[in-house]
Structure formats: structure tokens, C-alpha cells
Amino acid sequence: MIDFLNGLVALSNFVLIPAIAYGSQLALGALGVTLIYGILRFSNFAHGDTMAFGAMVTVLVTWWLQGMGVSLGPLPTALLALPVAIVATMALVLFTDRMVYKFYREQKAKPVILVIVSMGVMFIMNGLVRFIIGVNDQRFSDGERFIVSVREFKQMTGLREGLAIKTTQGITVIVAVVCVALLFWFLNRTRTGKSMRAYSDNEDLALLSGINPERVVMYTWMIVAALATIAGTLYGLDKSFKPFVYFMLLLPIFASAIVGGLGNPLGAIAGGYIIAFSEVTITYAWKKVLKYWLPESLEPDSLVQLLSTDYKFAVSFVILIVVLLFKPTGIFKGKSV
Amino acid sequence: MKKLMMATAATALLAGAASAEDIKLGVIMGFTGPIESLTPAMAAGSEYAMKEVSDSGKLLGGATVSSVRGDSTCIDAAAASAAAERLITSEGVKGIVGADCSGVTGAILANVAVPNGMVMISPSATSPALSAAEDNGMFFRTSPSDARQGQVLADVLMEQGFKSAAITYTNNDYGKGLADSIASAYAAAGGEVTATFAHEDGKADYSAEVASLASAGGDILIVAGYVDQGGPGVIRAALDTGAFDTFALPDGMIGGALEEAFGDEIEGSIGTVPGSESANTTMIVEAISSETVDASGPYIGESYDAAALIMLAMQAAGSSNPGDYAGKIMDVANAPGEKINTGELAKGLEILAAGGEIDYVGATAVELIGGGEAAGGYREIVIKGGKITTAKYR
């Protein structure tokens, strides 16, 4: 029994908790991608760098607040800076929309052209972020580091294995749940949300019934900016802020959105957790957990690791390809790519 | 256009004529990249030796020595080779102090230094593979090979009672070479290596790597990485998840940034850095310490020695031509002869000018063996009270 608990704790510490936090970050990112795809009808490759921009503003405002001596006690100051960053990111994406995307929308450009355009936007945002804050790691987390630390847990339970829950992991999950709840309330209950869904389902019909398309586009961008900033900040808080990393995140985020079904918000959330759990469990060395769970005669000698951790991103790639081959609309019936 | 070319040619001639008086030495180090916090002090160390020689006015009848810096980036072989090419062909350096990291050092040596017949003395490239590199007798290093460091670190681990260890290394020539030499020496000494994993530098999150290492278990985690790159990330993830709380840290991980990032969280961790008891780096460290240069890192004395050896060899050969003085480097570094310590370069130059022999000791008790690499003393360090402290010398 104790062995079983020890195994469970080890599993939670190294697999479940990190995967849930990572999955929440991916889900928030994938929601943004899926909304753009559903309503504006193109894959937005600039999403990763929108996240980087949002997180960067958070970092800068956090530094300023820390300099002024403001803090949130046990919580990271970054949470205070978040609203400012969301507004700044909204301004940036609305500006981009006005300057770039609007032109192509009026031309009724094909989605594939918009994808290429978004790649151009991606490189510009990429450069902008690096120009402002540089390419290096930036630390901006403060406050209490742990909700439960390994040492406390071991003392509390007397188990051999320890369990750590970082404050940032707790915040990530809570914020993600709140964001998702708000988003679904907005899409299903408010007038603007309903008009957004109508526009997504059938553009012409929506126009005929008097929905203002520019308003829908504007609200979509604002929501996406908020989601991107929150996802970027949470990722930066939990891991560390480095502009290049957000560019790399694009792959698992797109994989999440596509696995769940592009254009389907529920699918984006499910996809986020599926990708996170596959990445973590496939590259985890199961020896430690199995040693507790299996009878002594079956104990493994090797590490029981399916893939080396170097191949983490390959996992999302494989899932992406498998889904596109066999179920192009994704699990939750989104639009086919 | 014709005028411009004439003018260029004229300046080139003038520059050529002046070079007898002003000798340029290249200093190629990773001023950007994974060890960027260590390199300013290393470069300052070698430039301090150049200043000492210039001020003495005794080199080749009063020549002055100035440094030209080049960025090796530590990891980008193409950028490093281009930097070296520039120093040799357009700046006209007569010798190179560098490069710093093993991978780029090997690249510069093969692509630039050997084809151009340029002498290179690296203060910090420690990969065992460089011992066997094709160098035409032009490559030396004032740091020992990692084959030796692996042995020393394994001895320290066994003495401290760490019987099993997991190893993670930065995925490049330096990390791989060092990890291999630690693993084989440790296994030979009776220790058990539970797992050896590479980690990629520059990632935001190392929890997956650490989870695998934790699964393998072990008394201690050996992190053969860089202090400005993935190394601290790995340690941070290991501490957060409670996977390991003591670490064994080879030279690339020892620096002020480590104390700053972890303080007493890694209390009791051990490490090894090249250095010996008879070494005398205090003077150099004091001279170059300032607000802009953090002189708490390793390889400062080695850098000073590398530059000093080049200049002493020039004096011994009576020429600043790399082809002439390369053969003299082993002579001035080793016995027999008068011992020359840190700050006594002027004395050394005098003796050589008079036709005498010297045995350069310098900042790190230089003794070149084999194909021209330091025999290697090591400083065993331990993290005590959140500070890097010296336990003993080996």
C-alpha cells in the first residue's frame, strides 16, 4: 500500500502536475489559434510571437512595479501587470489587423494567402520583441515559490517520495479554468459572442441578418490578444521568459488545436491536454514508478523510457500527422484543414 | 577608384612597417553565448599580460603588444572561424589567445589556424579530442584535458562517499567529452553511473530531462554544462521537484552566476576547477576586477599565461613570426631555466634577451606535456554557506 502511494506521488510529481500545468498553457494558446481559424478563417502563425509580445509587456511592467516596491505578497507581481499587458497586446493586434489583415480581407484573399501573411507578421513581431527586450532569459517571478514543497510534503506524510506544487503551476491551472469559463460564457450567453458564432458558422447569413463584420473581427482579435498574453505570461512564469521559446511553442499549440478540431474551442482545450500528456508520458522514464508498483520479480532494469526527452517535439509532430491522415477534422469535429 | 586603391596600398604598407613596433595578438572568446559571463574576465586577464609586456618595453627591442578581440560565440563554428579569419587576414595578428570552448577551438584550428600557420594557445578548451587534433605543432593549451578532470571529479565523488550518480551534459563536444571521461573514471573507481542524458542548451524548461534522471536515481547529479545556459535550469528543475539536492559541477558550471542563482540551496555540492596551490592569480584578479568585469570565474590565470607564453616565445625566437616562435613555446614553459612568476614577465624577457633560459610558472604553474597541454592541477570546491569555497588542491 505504501509502495503504491509512493509510486503515485512520484508519478504526480514528475508527470501529472507538470503535464496539467503545461496542458493548461497549451490549451490557452490553442484557444487563440482556434478562434482565429473559426472566425477569421486562417491559421495564425503569428500567435506564438503574440504570446511573446504579451509576456514581454508583462515582464517590463512587472519590473517597473517591483522597482516601485509594489508586490502581491505570496502571489507573483506579474498578475498585477497582466491587465496592462493585455491592453498593450490588444492595441498591437488591432493595429496589425488595421494595417495588414484588413487589406487582404477586403480583397477576399484565400486562406492560404492569409497564412503566408501571418508568417510575415510573425517575423516582424519576433524582431520587435527581440529588439525591445533582447534574446536572453529574463526572470520576473517573485512571491512564494511553492504551494507544497518536497520537504514539507515528506514531513507531512512520511512517504519516501516527495511532491512539489509550484505556486506558478497552481496559478496556471486556476487562471486557465477562469479564462475558459469566461470565454464560454461570453460565446454562448452574450449578444456579441452569439454574433461571433453566427459569423463563424455562415458569414453571408450573418451579414444578411445585420451583424457588423468589422465589430466581430475587432472583438475576436481582442479576445485572442487577451488569451495569448495570459498564456504567454503563465508559460513565462512557470518556466522562464525567452523570446525564442514562444516560437518553438507554435508547433505543440497548432498540434493541440488540430487534434481537438480547428475552430472548436472545446477541442482546443482537450487537444492541449492530450498533447501535453503525450509529450510528458512518452518521454518519461517509468523505472521509478514501476519499481513501486510491480512485484519485485518484474522490476525493470532499464529506464523504461519510450523516447529520449530530446524527441519531445517529435511527439506533437507525430500526433499531428496521424490526426491529419486519419481524422482531419480532429476529435471534436472542427473544420478540416 | 585608382586613388583609393593607391591610398589603401599605402596604408597597408605603412601598417606593415609599423608592425615591427606594434604586435597584435588575437583574443578569440565567446563574448556572446553560453559562457559570456566568464569571458570578459578571461580576455582582461590575457590583455593584462600584454600590457605588462608593453609597459616593460623589453620585447624585441621595445615592441608594444595590443589585443584585437574576436567573438567565438562558443558554439557557432562558422562564426568563430570567420572571426579568426578576420583577425589573421585583415588585422594581421601574430598569435591567438583562444578560443575558449572546445568545439569552436577545434573548428578554428582546422579551418583557419593550421592553413594560415598561426599559433593558438587556448586557455580553456578542455576536450580530450583536441589532444589528438592535427595541429602541425601550432596548438597549445594552458588548461588540462578533461580526461584529467574526469579522473579528479571521480576521485572527489568517491572520497565524499557518493557511490552512485546520474550525469547530464550539454550536448556538444565539451559536454560529451567531459561526461564520457567522468563516467569511465567513476566506474573504474567503483561508482555506479545510473544514467547519462544530454540536455540541449537554451530551453525554458528542463523538467522532462530531470524527471528521467530522477527515475534513474543516484546520490548526486553531475551537471556537465554551462553556467550561463542550460546548467542552472537543470539544477533549478531538480531542486523544485526534489529529484536531487546535491550536485557535482565541473569547470563550466563554476562562476558567480551559480552563487547568485542558488546560494545555499545547493549547500554541500562539490565541483572541480583547474587551478593549483602554487598558482598565483590573486594579482591578476585584483588588477582586472572592476564593476564591469566579474573576476570570480575560472580560466583568468590560464588566459594570462596563454598570452605570456606567446610573447615570451617571441622573445626567445627573436621574431614575432608564428612559424619562428611556435617551436619555442615548450622551451619557455618548461624546465630548465629561471622560474618566472606572475608579474615577472619583464625579468623573463630580459633573461631571454641575454640568451638565458626560463621556466615559465606564471599564474597557473604552467607545465606543458604531451602535444602541448597543461599537466593539470585542480581545485576542489564545495558550496558552503551559499558561497563557492576551496576545499583543497589536487
B150-178 average pLDDT score: 90
Residue B33 has pLDDT above 90, yes or no: no
CB-nearest to B242 from A162, A239, A287 is: A162
Highest mean pLDDT of the ranges A60-64, A71-75, B200-204, B360-364: A60-64
**The total number of structural domains that make up chain A:** 1
Other beta carbons within 10 angstroms of residue B371's beta carbon come to 16
DSSP B347: H
- Note the pLDDT of residue A219: 95
Q: Kindly state the percentage of chain B with pLDDT values over 90.
A: 38
**A164/B211 CB distance under 8 A:** no
CATH number, domain containing residue A230 = 1.10.3470
Residue B11 has pLDDT above 70, yes or no: no
- Note the pLDDT of residue B18: 44
- Note the pLDDT of residue A337: 47
- Note the pLDDT of residue B372: 83
Residue A190 located in a structural domain: yes
- Note the pLDDT of residue B261: 84
pLDDT band at A298 (very low <50, low <70, confident <90, very high): confident
Q: What is the mean pLDDT of chain A?
A: 91
Measured between CA atoms, the residue of chain A closest to residue B209 is A309
Pick B2-145+281-374's CATH classification: 3.30.2320.80, 3.40.50.2300, 2.40.10.10, 3.40.50.970.
3.40.50.2300
Round to whole Å and give the CA distance between B147 and B151.
7
- Note the pLDDT of residue B215: 87
List b or e across B102-139, with b for residues whose CB sees 16 or more CB atoms inside 10 angstroms: bbbbbbbbbbbbbeeebbbbbbbbbbbbbbeeebeebb
Residue A7 has pLDDT above 70, yes or no: yes
Residue A257 has pLDDT above 90, yes or no: yes
pLDDT band at A178 (very low <50, low <70, confident <90, very high): very high
Domain with A314 in it = 2-326
Does the CB of A289 have a partner CB in chain B at under 8 Å? yes
- Note the pLDDT of residue A329: 87
CATH number of B146-276+377-393: 3.40.50.2300
Q: Are strands B387-393 and B378-384 parallel, antiparallel or unpaired?
A: antiparallel
pLDDT tens string B89-145: 999 999 999 889 989 999 999 999 999 999 999 999 888 888 888 888 899 999 888
Task: Name every chain A residue with its beta carbon within 8 A of the beta carbon of B214.
Answer: 14, 288
pLDDT band at B5 (very low <50, low <70, confident <90, very high): low
Measured between CA atoms, the residue of chain B closest to residue A153 is B242
Q: A193 near A187, Cβ under 8 Å?
A: yes
Which residues, at least 6 apart from A255, have a Cβ–Cβ distance to it below 8 Å? A271, A275, A316, A317, A319, A320
Domain boundaries, chain B: 2-145+281-374, 146-276+377-393
Q: What is the mean pLDDT of chain B?
A: 86
Domains B2-145+281-374 and B146-276+377-393 share a fold: yes
- Note the pLDDT of residue B336: 85
Residue A218 located in a structural domain: yes
**B198/A310 CB distance under 8 A:** yes
Interface residues from chain B to A (CB-CB < 8 Å): 195, 197-198, 200, 202-205, 207-209, 211-212, 214-217, 233, 240-243
Which residue bears the cell 503551476?
A169
Distance (Å) from the alpha carbon of A165 to chain B's nearest alpha carbon: 8
- Note the pLDDT of residue B306: 94
Q: Kindly state the percentage of chain A with pLDDT values over 70.
A: 99
**A244/B202 CB distance under 8 A:** yes
Residue B19 has pLDDT above 50, yes or no: no
E strand residue ranges, B205-321? 220-224, 247-249, 270-274
Residue B284 has pLDDT above 70, yes or no: yes
**B204/A18 CB distance under 8 A:** no
**A286/B215 CB distance under 8 A:** yes
Highest mean pLDDT of the ranges A217-231, B147-161, B191-205, B261-275: A217-231
pLDDT tens string B304-322: 999 999 999 999 998 999 9
Task: Name every chain A residue with its beta carbon within 8 A of the beta carbon of B264.
Answer: none
Residue A335 located in a structural domain: no
- Note the pLDDT of residue A228: 96
Residue A77 has pLDDT above 80, yes or no: yes
Does the CB of A20 have a partner CB in chain B at under 8 Å? no
| Cβ pairs A/B, distance under 8 A | 76
